[in-house]
Structure 1
Amino acid sequence: MMNRAILLSGAAGVLSLSGPAHAADDAAAVAARFGALEAVRDASISPDGTKVAVVNPVPTGTVVVVADLTGAAQPKMVMGMQAKDGRITSCSWSTDTRIVCFGRYIVKEPVYGPVTYSRVFATNADATGMVQLSSETNDRSHYVMQYGGGIIDLDVGNSPGSVLMTRQFVPDTQTGSRMGSDKEGVGVEAVDTITLKRRTVEEPRRNASEYVSDGHGLVRVMGVVAADSEGVLKGTTSYFYRKTGSRDWLPLSVVASSGAGLSDGFDPYAVDSAANVVYGFEGKGGFNALYSVSLDGAATRAEVLSRADTDIDELIRIGRDRRVVGASYATDRRAIEYFDPELKKLGAALTRALPGQPMTNIVDASAGEKKLLIIASADVDPGILYVYDKASRKLDQVMAVRGALEGVPLAPMKAISYKAADGTEIPAYLTLPLGSSGKGLPAIVMPHGGPAARDEWGFDWLVQFYAARGFAVIQPNYRGSTGYGSAWFQKNGFQSWKTAISDINDAGRWLLAEGIAAPGKLAAVGWSYGGYAALQGEVVDPALYKAVVAIAPVTDLASLKRESANFTNSRLVDRYIGDGPHLREGSPAEHAARFAAPVMLFHGDLDQNVGVDESRLMEKRLREAGKPVTYVEFAGLDHYLIDAAARTRMLSESDAFLRKALGLAP
């Protein structure tokens, strides 16, 4: 796995990663390449910098593979979870030989439908000593514990191998028994990942929602949500902090949930113990800005980074103590501003050394940040996992993020803008098939999901598949997207659906007017809200698209509200979607008779984001209206269809569907 190295000593060190061009594959082979899951779902480096643990999705589920960076041993699988049981999502090292991993699984409950459960496990780097770190309920517990806790700190003072974990305490009371406990809520424990000894660091609070450690074993910030007597959330979180050496909680801020990504109140994210401040986001002039607040009792606030054109939306943190070293934001491309002078210099060196991979993301660091684990990628490169040694200034390649696409030429993504019907400039990304003239092409309008999200420049497996099959693809960041401030977000893409859908349809009209899309060769493809937008775009203008593909789409706004009725976020979902005529007017399932284009639907039956009944209803309504519809349902899969066979089938069948509808050769 250790097969390439370069020195970061100026512009001379250039690494070429492009392989030989392949002969044109047939449609099935192309679908299989792009449908294959990434080999690197998550990666972490050991404290001594000698080993890397990689979370690797495989056809049967998920495995954790340890690679020895010294070359002394072959890569070894140390943990696995079958797909039917769930999946491993992330791992970290508690010692040089001990790995802690987070797993989640979905159970279809009779009343509630699909429900997520999670657990934390630990194992040795030689695949021995696997245990569950999460506590468990028993037959005396009042209810089953869903949340198995999460790691908030890998450093617990002078306790090697111990971690700070949040824990969901469940009451365990029994008449006449002294073994029971009435503790309830989320607390924090110090857990020894080897012996499983645990001690309570923070007593549970019924409405506690999060805890933030200082990276060295001390909890400094706590969030408490407002809820009614039934536990239904009201939409605000109160944050508290501690001064150094104190156990008393002092008020920090109150944050109201807007669903727009814009922080209404100071939203704390990370503590810097050396500076004795907490970093967080808050709105400024309609955009999110990054601030620090002192934790000394004075709560002195200082602006760290802001822009007047886009949200500051991400903290850059590295190392085992999750040290804050910078912040990130997206304009045409994502940019990082490092506060740390050494990393700022390193970032510039990486850009020179990897000109074909301008997106460099530090994903982990060894003890003392002596070695950094980095993923570098681009729009035409899914990414390479590297280890950078500060002492030798050497960058070693570990593995490709998507090995199935190595050597496959990919199409560049270009930032563009177009005018909406009211004259507003809508930012978007355009990807044209390699070797095409850019004119007279079959084309796809692909709105993003969310709607509280945005598309960004970079590798996109769905876009790249359709480009490889000869389609031009436009991705509009319509009004209703996040990242562009509160005015752009409007009420959100559901309550302001008329504006959002108009912007999305205008992307298709622009493709036609520019001659990029050939007449009669325009389709809409979307996932989640994007699927909703593709369907609702057909309702608004049945003459625009000649085919619609919707993956896990919302199809009925009233039904979407009802899906959350039995959950604690029901009030928030109700508020987000709203009430009024738009519930019916903005629901594609209510207007099946207007459809002129054929529709293809895909959905997983364990989808918790958008219930599978949304697609079932859409199929039923279209059939009742005598409209052509094809529906593919995947058993045992959730909203993201994280399964290579399912994704390959979705790509292959959607491609065939689009080609037939648009009159293209197979």
Structure 2
Amino acid sequence: MCGRIRLFLTLIFSFILSINSAWAEDVKSPGDIPIKAFAQLPAIMDMELSPDGSHIAYMVPHKGRKAIVIRNIESGKLSGIPAPDKADINWFKWVNNKKIAVSIGYTAQRYGTTTLETRLYAFDLPSGNLKNIIKPRKRKGSVSTLTKEDFDVQIQDRVIDWLPDDPDHILVSIDGDWDGASEIRMVDVNDGDFTELTDGMKGIQSYQTDQQHELRLSWGYWKSDFKQLYRSPETGKWMQIEEGQLAKLNLDPIAFDKDPAIAYAKGLNEAGRFAVYKVNIPADKVVEEVYSDEDVDTDHIVFDPLSGRPIGVRNYREKSGYMYFDKYFAALQKVVDKALPNTVNRVISRVKGQKKFLIFSSSDVEPGVYYLLDFSKGSLDFLAETMPGITPEQMSPMQYVRYIARDGQVIHGYLTVPRGREVRNLPLIVMPHGGPEAQTVRSFAYRTQFLASRGYAVFQPNFRGSEGYGPAFQEAGENQWGGLMQDDVTDGVKWLIDQGMADPDRICIAGASYGGYAAAMGAVKTPDLYQCAVSINGVLNLPMLKAKDKRYTGGRAWIKTMGLEGADDEEVSPYHRVDDIKIPLLIIHAKDDFRVPLRHAEMMVDELKDEGKDVTFVQLEDGDHMLDTEAARYATLKAMEAFFAKHLGAGSPGSMATQ
């Protein structure tokens, strides 16, 4: 294995050097930046310091997938973990100074359904050995163990606590006997031996520990019902909390204070936005408000990367960033932001007992840069950029916009205008986000920036159903597939036309996942508004998706929000509305998409061809639902470039730099 590691490290660094030099040559305008620069996986990903600060680990692309490199900071000596065959490295984390936990994922078939499988390994730095550390358990009531196939549990990498004070163990949640009740194992990272702390509870799939690393919170689905439990520090008994006063106030515990009775919880403020509060769970009451914003939701709690304790929040205002209620990190953030003023900066790793911090810095025009901040040396050193060949000066800033939908609702979104272009009569690509309960935020997006580099404006509305604007706004999108959510997108396009920003004769709609559904439904409902549509891994057959999702844990609950209230699913399913499509469609779908199976695209393309419609189909042989390989991204961008050039005209001179 050591020889293989040395070989792939040599290949990786030769590759990185070549793209740095090749993409830097002869790039005179954004339109000259080749597709490969945008399609590349980040050259450096998920960098992390070892607990003692002696090593740094990070992921790199290798043959279109991801591998791990470990570097001794003082000597420069390299070690690594090659990309697995026909699988992907999902994430890694230092467990101690010699061991790294590694999650590996791949797609498989179970009972005729495509699934995402995960496995958990431990990499030993001194020996270079990589070992699976999840072992099978005996079936309850059985005198013998199951077969290997029976032990092949689908999800094996749910680490709920890294136990920073115990360098040899981690806590893992795993449903070892497939009964819908996940047990908690204390796993030895050296040999995979484990002790079960709990045998699991019916309908509970997720757990959370407190700052003392004791199991304190659990939740999950039983059939279509959601349940949430809290474990009393005094009695050790689990009690339901989804029906108390805190639940009535929509206060959802998400992290714990030093006192395990006190939790940080997300709940509604007077403006109807999610804020963060401290609550006393046993007393069922609010203690204090921690952070609140009247315009947008508080997105998530930020944790100390070393201890795991809560230290701050992040929200997605027009200009997003981190706000710390921990005084130490608040002071540290001021120092970092002063040194790096034009980006969103975050401490992603630090060394215990040393003033040494790993900083990640990014923005809507900067994919990301890693820095090492060392107060003992008084230095902030550049380490690596994530996407060589992409420079902020050539990218297009996202502009915040808001408009009024047909029923008076204010809708927020972003318009990305090609650099140097006046915001008048622009060719426009409308890009609804996926989810649909997701949100477009101000951050670097390779598809958006690629299209802007080719001369197209990109409009990304946060239609009803989107996160970030309070639960009432998000819930307004439930059972509105093809309804309000679609109308909000349409109203935004018409507003841009009325404002003179968009050329009404050069507009296409494109999206991925739910966004691919919205693009196809745009072709169904408003074909006169668009010149073309692009669906990437899109939901094209709604009844088929709902039938599939019912088979997953929690599926019976979430499919209740799909479809359109008062209408049959076929009425808002693109496959069943092919007769109404009048514009050209580009359908791109990954063969190994586990979320929305390839069959959606195949059936849609066959039906369109049978009806004599204009359709182009690109099947991606590599990559899954998230297009997480370079080959999938490249093929997608290349197909989109040619398709939009054909139906909208090239967006700008030099916009066909396809290599």
Normalising by structure 1, we get a TM-score of: 0.86
Q: Return the alpha-carbon distance in structure 1 between the equivalents of residues 248 and 624 of structure 2.
A: 29
Task: Find the counterpart in structure 2 of residue 401 from structure 1.
Answer: 386
1:222 aligns with 2:207: no
Residue pair 2:428, 2:456 contacting (<8 A) in 1 also: yes
Q: Return the alpha-carbon distance in structure 1 between the equivalents of residues 606 and 77 of structure 2.
A: 53
C-alpha displacement at 1:538, in angstroms?
2.0
C-alpha displacement at 1:347, in angstroms?
1.5
Q: Structure 1's 247 and 197: CA in aligned 2 closer, same or farther, altered over 3 A?
A: farther
Task: Find the counterpart in structure 2 of residue 34 from structure 1.
Answer: 38
Task: Find the counterpart in structure 1 of residue 19 from structure 2.
Answer: none
C-alpha displacement at 1:161, in angstroms?
2.5
Question: 1:436-465 CA deviation, whole Å, 9 max, x = no partner?
Answer: 223232211111111101100111111000
- Farther off after superposition, 493-502 or 518-527: 493-502
Task: Pick one of 159, 163, 169 that aligns with 1:162.
Answer: 169
Q: Name the SS for the 1:355 alignment partner.
A: coil
Residue pair 1:319, 1:367 contacting (<8 A) in 2 also: no
1:518 aligns with 2:506: no
Task: Find the counterpart in structure 2 of residue 82 from structure 1.
Answer: 84
Q: Return the alpha-carbon distance in structure 1 between the equivalents of residues 479 and 358 of structure 2.
A: 40
Residue pair 2:588, 2:617 contacting (<8 A) in 1 also: yes
Task: Find the counterpart in structure 2 of residue 489 from structure 1.
Answer: 474
Q: Structure 1's 500 and 648: CA in aligned 2 closer, same or farther, altered over 3 A?
A: same
Q: Structure 1's 210 and 407: CA in aligned 2 closer, same or farther, altered over 3 A?
A: closer
- Farther off after superposition, 466-475 or 184-193: 184-193
C-alpha displacement at 1:289, in angstroms?
2.5
Q: In the alignment, residue 381 of structure 1 is paired with which amino acid?
A: E
Question: 1:303-354 CA deviation, whole Å, 9 max, x = no partner?
Answer: 3223333222200101332111011211212232210112112222222211
User: Which blocks of at least 5 consecutive residues in structure 1 are unaligned?
Assistant: 1-18, 172-182, 228-232, 257-261
1:144 aligns with 2:144: no
* Map 1:179-198 → 2, pairs under 5 A: 185-198=181-194
- Farther off after superposition, 401-410 or 146-155: 401-410
- Farther off after superposition, 137-146 or 552-561: 137-146
* Map 1:37-76 → 2, pairs under 5 A: 37-70=41-74, 72-76=75-79
Q: Name the SS for the 2:83 alignment partner.
A: strand
Question: 1:208-234 CA deviation, whole Å, 9 max, x = no partner?
Answer: 322222345x3231314342xxxxx32
Residue pair 2:210, 2:260 contacting (<8 A) in 1 also: no
Q: Return the alpha-carbon distance in structure 2 between the equivalents of residues 64 and 429 of structure 1.
A: 35
Task: Pick one of 357, 365, 379 that aligns with 2:350.
Answer: 365
Q: Structure 1's 130 and 301: CA in aligned 2 closer, same or farther, altered over 3 A?
A: same
Q: Structure 1's 274 and 374: CA in aligned 2 closer, same or farther, altered over 3 A?
A: farther
Q: Name the SS for the 1:403 alignment partner.
A: coil
Q: Name the SS for the 1:254 alignment partner.
A: coil
Q: Name the SS for the 2:205 alignment partner.
A: strand
Task: Find the counterpart in structure 2 of residue 208 from structure 1.
Answer: 204
Q: In the alignment, residue 613 of structure 1 is paired with which amino acid?
A: R
Q: Return the alpha-carbon distance in structure 2 between the equivalents of residues 129 and 533 of structure 1.
A: 47
Residue pair 2:205, 2:221 contacting (<8 A) in 1 also: no
C-alpha displacement at 1:242, in angstroms?
3.3
C-alpha displacement at 1:583, in angstroms?
1.7
Percent identical among aligned pairs is 27
Q: Return the alpha-carbon distance in structure 1 between the equivalents of residues 517 and 61 of structure 2.
A: 29
Task: Find the counterpart in structure 1 of residue 134 from structure 2.
Answer: 134
Q: Structure 1's 571 and 475: CA in aligned 2 closer, same or farther, altered over 3 A?
A: same
Q: Return the alpha-carbon distance in structure 1 between the equivalents of residues 243 and 613 of structure 2.
A: 46
Q: Return the alpha-carbon distance in structure 2 between the equivalents of residues 332 and 22 of structure 1.
A: 35
Task: Find the counterpart in structure 2 of residue 509 from structure 1.
Answer: 494
Q: Return the alpha-carbon distance in structure 2 between the equivalents of residues 122 and 523 of structure 1.
A: 47
Task: Find the counterpart in structure 2 of residue 114 from structure 1.
Answer: 114
* Map 1:169-184 → 2, pairs under 5 A: 169-170=176-177
Q: Structure 1's 288 and 648: CA in aligned 2 closer, same or farther, altered over 3 A?
A: same
Q: In the alignment, residue 506 of structure 1 is paired with which amino acid?
A: D
Q: Structure 1's 83 and 513: CA in aligned 2 closer, same or farther, altered over 3 A?
A: farther
Q: Structure 1's 601 and 184: CA in aligned 2 closer, same or farther, altered over 3 A?
A: closer
Q: Structure 1's 20 and 396: CA in aligned 2 closer, same or farther, altered over 3 A?
A: same
Q: Name the SS for the 2:34 alignment partner.
A: helix
Q: Return the alpha-carbon distance in structure 1 between the equivalents of residues 387 and 53 of structure 2.
A: 24
Q: Return the alpha-carbon distance in structure 2 between the equivalents of residues 255 and 396 of structure 1.
A: 51
Q: Return the alpha-carbon distance in structure 1 between the equivalents of residues 325 and 392 of structure 2.
A: 36
Q: Return the alpha-carbon distance in structure 2 between the equivalents of residues 563 and 368 of structure 1.
A: 50
Residue pair 2:266, 2:275 contacting (<8 A) in 1 also: yes
Q: Return the alpha-carbon distance in structure 1 between the equivalents of residues 30 and 294 of structure 2.
A: 48
Task: Pick one of 557, 561, 571 that aligns with 1:572.
Answer: 557
Q: Name the SS for the 1:292 alignment partner.
A: strand
Task: Find the counterpart in structure 2 of residue 460 from structure 1.
Answer: 445
C-alpha displacement at 1:562, in angstroms?
1.2
Q: Return the alpha-carbon distance in structure 1 between the equivalents of residues 242 and 626 of structure 2.
A: 33
Q: Return the alpha-carbon distance in structure 2 between the equivalents of residues 264 and 106 of structure 1.
A: 40
Q: Return the alpha-carbon distance in structure 2 between the equivalents of residues 569 and 390 of structure 1.
A: 48
Task: Find the counterpart in structure 2 of residue 634 from structure 1.
Answer: 620
Q: Structure 1's 566 and 143: CA in aligned 2 closer, same or farther, altered over 3 A?
A: farther
Task: Find the counterpart in structure 2 of residue 96 from structure 1.
Answer: 97
- Farther off after superposition, 492-501 or 22-31: 22-31
- Farther off after superposition, 475-484 or 38-47: 38-47
1:254 aligns with 2:242: yes
Q: Return the alpha-carbon distance in structure 1 between the equivalents of residues 616 and 566 of structure 2.
A: 31
Question: 1:399-455 CA deviation, whole Å, 9 max, x = no partner?
Answer: 112224257711111111233334433211111111222323221111111110110
Q: Return the alpha-carbon distance in structure 2 between the equivalents of residues 494 and 616 of structure 1.
A: 26
1:589 aligns with 2:575: yes
Q: Structure 1's 76 and 255: CA in aligned 2 closer, same or farther, altered over 3 A?
A: farther
1:388 aligns with 2:373: yes
Task: Find the counterpart in structure 1 of residue 9 from structure 2.
Answer: none
Residue pair 1:592, 1:621 contacting (<8 A) in 2 also: yes
User: Which blocks of at least 5 consecutive residues in structure 2 are unaligned?
Assistant: 1-22, 138-144
C-alpha displacement at 1:484, in angstroms?
0.7
Q: Name the SS for the 1:405 alignment partner.
A: coil
Q: Structure 1's 44 and 463: CA in aligned 2 closer, same or farther, altered over 3 A?
A: same
Task: Pick one of 285, 288, 300 that aligns with 1:314.
Answer: 300
- Farther off after superposition, 651-660 or 620-629: 620-629
Aligned-residue Cα RMSD (Å) equals 2.9
Residue pair 1:282, 1:289 contacting (<8 A) in 2 also: yes
Q: Structure 1's 547 and 255: CA in aligned 2 closer, same or farther, altered over 3 A?
A: farther
C-alpha displacement at 1:139, in angstroms?
4.3
Q: Structure 1's 325 and 125: CA in aligned 2 closer, same or farther, altered over 3 A?
A: same
Q: In the alignment, residue 591 of structure 1 is paired with which amino acid?
A: R
Residue pair 1:235, 1:572 contacting (<8 A) in 2 also: yes
Query: How many residue pairs end up in the alignment?
Result: 618
Q: Return the alpha-carbon distance in structure 2 between the equivalents of residues 32 and 479 of structure 1.
A: 34
Q: Return the alpha-carbon distance in structure 1 between the equivalents of residues 411 and 95 of structure 2.
A: 46
Q: Structure 1's 494 and 390: CA in aligned 2 closer, same or farther, altered over 3 A?
A: farther
Task: Find the counterpart in structure 2 of residue 10 from structure 1.
Answer: none
Normalising by structure 2, we get a TM-score of: 0.87
Q: Name the SS for the 1:82 alignment partner.
A: coil
